[in-house]
Structure 1
Amino acid sequence: MKTHSFFESHVWAKLKTIVFCAVQWEGLNAKGSKLLSVASLDFAEDDELIKEIKADYDFIRAKLIKDGFETLTGKDGKWIQARTKGIGGVNPRTGQRRPITRAFYARTGLVKKIFEIAS
């Protein structure tokens, strides 16, 4: 992340083309489901939403570079957040602390916005 601008990042690679599948599940723990519809979105670099997401990425990236990995929290970012990836904490079998890693996650507001755009 330190060496990749937004448009070189894995975040952009995942965002620029999104495919949504609407699925109807047949009850709790269903073994079967029904595909209701499929929609795809192709974002451009100059879309307003992408500019805002890029601003989140740039803020989080600058914080990482300036203040270090430990300062990143899930509170940063309007549309995306860098938060703990995996379960973290202490492994109950070994008593050893699991490594702390971060990944970018879409906030619920972004998911809602993308669904609005897709429909």
Structure 2
Amino acid sequence: MPPHAGQGVSCAVEDAVAIALLLKHYRISHRFGTDDSLRRTAKAYEAVRMNRVGKILDIAARMGETKKMQTWWREKIRDWALWLFCKLPESLNDAQFGYDVEVDIAKYIAKSGCEPN
């Protein structure tokens, strides 16, 4: 995650929760061996996380390009827009800030039809 995106720690925490939940779901037992459990966990992790992380990386790339060469006037407009954005009701930002990784994992598990061990 690029440092100017401001999403590195957030994505890392989401990743940790996703991996923990998936490891719990595909835990090693008589049904799955260690290799199979890890393979299933990695496949599910990628399926769940790649879409969200890809969107964040796309936004970060666009924002990084706009920061390279800004005039004084554009910086002021950006700062004002950010100030205004922070004053808006939180519910308008639910798509980005209301993300729940646990819900995403539960949907994936339900859709995949795989019963826990």
Q: Which TM-score applies when normalising by structure 2? A: 0.39
Task: Answer 1 or 2: higher relative contact order, Cα 8 Å, separation at least 6.
Answer: 2
Name the one with the larger strand percent.
1
Q: Which TM-score applies when normalising by structure 1? A: 0.38
Name the one with the larger helix percent.
2
